[in-house]
Amino acid sequence: MPASFEQVGWDEQTAECCLRLVQAAVAEDLDCGADWTTLAVLPEDRPGRARLVARQQGVLAGLPAVPLVLREFDPRLLWHPLVEEGQGLAPGTVIGLVEGSARSLLAAERTLLNLLSRLCGVATLTRRFVQAVEGTSARIFDTRKTTPGWRRLEKYAVAVGGGCNHRLGLFDAVLIKDNHRALWAAGAPQADLAQLVRQARAFLHRLARQRSDAPQVLEIEVDTLEQLAQVLPAGPDIVLLDNFSLEQLRQAVVLRNRQAPGVVLEASGGITLQTVHRVAETGVDRISVGVLTHAAPALDLALDWETPGP
C-alpha cells in the first residue's frame, strides 16, 4: 500500500483502549453503588443464560471485546461465540451465548450491547461503501471524525468492514489542510503551494534524522485544479481533492497521470452511498468518508434470555 498508514487490528493497544472504555462505562452505570433493581428482585445464586442476537442485517465487529466486558463485571461469566469476526449477520443470527450469575449478566447487558452495537454499526456502513465501489480501483478510507476516546476501536471496526484506515492522529503524518495553507500564505504571500510542499518535505527529512518514529507520509489538501497543478511537481505522497465535482475529479486524474503518476489522489467531502460509485469511477485512488465513524447508526442487537428449566 503506497503512502500507507497503520491499519488497526485487534492488538494489545486496541484491547487496552477497549478496556478503558469498558471501565468508564462500568463507572457511569454503577457509580459507587450497585444494580439495586437486580439485587431487589433476584437471589444471589440465580443462574442466567442468554443469547446475543442480531435484530438487523449487518456485519459483526467487536467480538474480542465481549470477554473484556464480561470479565469487568464478573470474571465467572462464560462466553461461547458462535460466529466469526467480520461475518455477515442476518436478523435472528445468534452471535453467541453467555451464562453465569443472573445478577452479573443483567448488570453487564447494556454496556455489552452499547459497545457491540456501535462497532457493528461502523463495520456495517463501511461494508456498504466498500461494496458500492466494487469494480473500480478506489478504496474506502476513514477519517479522524471519530467519537472521543473511541478512535482506535472505530477504526478497527472500519477495517473489519473492509475499509482502510487513514492516519490515527496528528502524530503519524503531515497533512496540510486549508487552514494550514491560509496561515502559511499569510507569511509568504508570493509563494505557491509547491514551495509549501517542499518546506514540509524538508521538515520530514530533518525529523527522520532525529526520531525513529518520524511520520513518512506527506499529504496536502487542495480546493481547485489550479492548486493541484501547483503541488504535483513538488511530489507530495497524497493530494486530497476537497469537494471537487465529478468533472473536476476526472480532470484531476488526467492532470496527475500526465504530470506526476506516482502521486496518490484522494477524494473527500460530502460523499454518500448514492454518489460514491460515481466518484470511484473518476479514477481517484482513495475516497475518505467521515460518515463511517461520525454518523454510522448502531446495529440493533439484543440479549434474549433463556427461560430456566424446572
So which residues are the catalytic ones?
110, 145, 177, 221, 242
Burial of 30 from C-beta contacts in 10 A (0-12 / 13-18 / 19+): middle
Closest Cα to residue 35, out of 99, 83, 103?
103
49: helix, strand or coil: strand
Residue 34 DSSP class: -
Could you tell me the three cell numbers for 85? 469476526
- 286-288 and 139-141 beta bridge pairing: parallel
d(CA 35, CA 14): 28
Grid cell 427461560 in the structure block, residue: 307
Question: Is 114 in contact with 25 (CB distance < 8 Å)?
Answer: yes
The DSSP element (H or E) to which 131 belongs, if any, is helix 102-132
